[in-house]
Amino acid sequence: MATSDGVLVKCKKSQATRRKSLKDVRQVITLTLLHPLQSVPVQSWPFETESLIRIGRSTDNEVILYSAVVSRHHVELRRNESDWEIVSLGANGTYINGKRITQMPVVDGMIIRLASSGPKIQIHIEGEASKASLKAALGKRGSARTQVLDGSKETFFNSKSTHVEEEN
């Protein structure tokens, strides 16, 4: 499949079959290639049992992107016990919000860009651990925008609006 910016995409499912354990079924990670101008989904790849997902131009990657700015082995997503981390391997770098990263935890909904002008991929994590990771990341930011009002109910308040969100 080709996108309007000339990026060819292909997905190769992992050939290793593994016995499913609780660790394997608690999370599904979905990678979504976004359109370069409108940021709408072009193609998605769900992964249920993989603990390592590789993205790049080489045909031995799980997600193959044919773009001049994408390295053969550009990015790896690695599953730890309960979290995912992103590791940049490409010569042209991996960017989040315009800042180059080398390694960091994955947060549900984050968008990575391969090279400063390359393809954008949104990462979604579904499952119990992703909610905990997002809460932990929000807590680590120490931002005044997010405050816990009632720790027993895990209520969060966004001071930019009057909307209060509760998680049960």
> How much is the pLDDT for 154?
30
* pLDDT tens figures, 112-135: 999 999 999 999 998 755 455 555
* pLDDT tens figures, 77-86: 999 888 999 9
Contacts of 140 (CB under 8 A, 6+ apart): none
E-assigned strand segments in 57-136: 63-66, 75-79, 84-88, 94-96, 99-101, 103-105, 111-114, 120-127
Q: Is residue 106 part of a domain?
A: yes
Q: Take residue 65 and report the two structure tokens written for it.
A: 């992107």
Domain count, the chain: 1
Q: What is the pTM (predicted TM-score) of this model?
A: 0.64
What's the CATH number where 106 sits? Answer: 2.60.200.20
Q: Is residue 149 part of a domain?
A: no
Q: Is residue 152 part of a domain?
A: no
Q: Is residue 35 part of a domain?
A: yes
Q: Which domain holds residue 49?
A: 8-127
Picking from 99, 97, 101, the residue whose alpha carbon sits closest to that of residue 110 is 97
Higher pLDDT, 76 or 6: 76
